[in-house]
Amino acid sequence: MKDIETYSGLEAVLIGIIQEVLEEVGKKVEQAMKDIIDKDVYQAHTPNQYERTHQLRDSVTASKAKSVKGGGEVEIYHDESKITYKPLYQHGSPFSGDISEFIPEIIAFNLSGNLFDSNKWWHHRSNYYQDTLKLLKEKGMLSKWFKEGLKSRGIDIG
């Protein structure tokens, strides 16, 4: 690493480190959400009317870090291109068409309605978005992971 000679040089180095750490934390949040989906969605029920694809879990993605006013951010989102439609009732139907882009919301917010029955397991499932946030908040994981990432790069903020 070359010597830092100006404030703007220091700023550029620190921004680069922070973006690296944010991306590292984003990957950990991505994995935490995938683990919650495994628990809340996939382990809650074994389907007999459809083939499980795991595309809901596999679509969870952490973005690259980007600079925003006052800091940086990483977005955790569902990459809709990873959830595919098959006309024979896989993420849609011949009647509704492709609803794959809505699968995360349908599952997280229990929006399937009473098509198959009014009191099925999915009507009582918890919201995996909220469960992930609750886990991260209760255990202070975001701050912990961020501090660990900085410390591994020689910056100890306590």
Q: What is the pLDDT of residues 85-118, one digit of tens each?
A: 887 777 888 888 888 898 898 888 877 655 555 5
pTM for the predicted model, two decimal places: 0.85
85/93 Cα distance (integer angstroms): 9
31 has a pLDDT exceeding 70:
yes
> What average pLDDT does this structure show over 119-147?
85
* pLDDT given for residue 115 in this prediction: 56
* pLDDT given for residue 78 in this prediction: 96
Place of tokens 């020689």: 154
130 has a pLDDT exceeding 90:
yes
Q: Which pLDDT tens digit goes with each residue over 49-82?
A: 777 889 999 999 999 999 888 889 999 999 999 9
129 has a pLDDT exceeding 60:
yes
The CA dihedral of 143, 148, 153, 154, to the nearest 10 degrees, is 100
